[in-house]
């Protein structure tokens, strides 16, 4: 029994960093998911604006205001106007690029 003295503290010292890493990755993943939803909404709003004939700067501003540092690109394919929004998000210090696309019918309501 004397030889096991302090073993709980040693096991805790080994396991605690792993628990902290798992929690940090979980929180980072939730924040990235939240950012991705905002990015998708912004891409949809920007596509609708462009489809109604609004200027491209306004659509880009919608994306940039929804997610800090987000970029957007638009394209036309037939009757569709598509917007792709991209943002770099750190997850536990690791940069991850999130991309969302949305299309709207040109001249749409």
Q: Please report, for the chain, the start and end positions of each structural domain, with discontinuous segments joined by +.
A: 2-105
- Neighbouring CB atoms inside 10 A of 46's CB total 29
Per-residue confidence band for 2, with pLDDT thresholds at 50, 70 and 90: low
In angstroms, the CA 101 to CA 79 distance is 16
- Closest among 101, 84, 83, 78 to 47, alpha carbons compared: 83
Per-residue confidence band for 8, with pLDDT thresholds at 50, 70 and 90: confident
6 pLDDT higher than 70: no
- What is the model's pTM? 0.80
Separation of CA 1 from chain center: 52
pLDDT tens digits along 19-77: 998 998 899 999 999 999 999 999 999 999 999 989 989 999 999 999 999 999 999 98
């Amino acid at each position: 029994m004397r030889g096991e003295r302090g073993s709980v503290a040693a096991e805790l010292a080994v396991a605690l960093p792993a628990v902290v890493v798992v929690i940090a990755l979980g929180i980072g993943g939730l924040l990235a998911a939240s950012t991705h939803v905002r990015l998708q909404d912004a891409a949809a709003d920007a596509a609708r604006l462009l489809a109604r004939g609004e200027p491209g700067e306004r659509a880009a501003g919608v994306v940039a205001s929804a997610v800090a540092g987000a970029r957007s690109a638009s394209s036309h394919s037939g009757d569709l106007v598509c917007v792709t929004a991209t943002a770099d998000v750190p997850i536990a210090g690791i940069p991850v690029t999130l991309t969302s696309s949305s299309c709207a019918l040109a001249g749409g309501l």
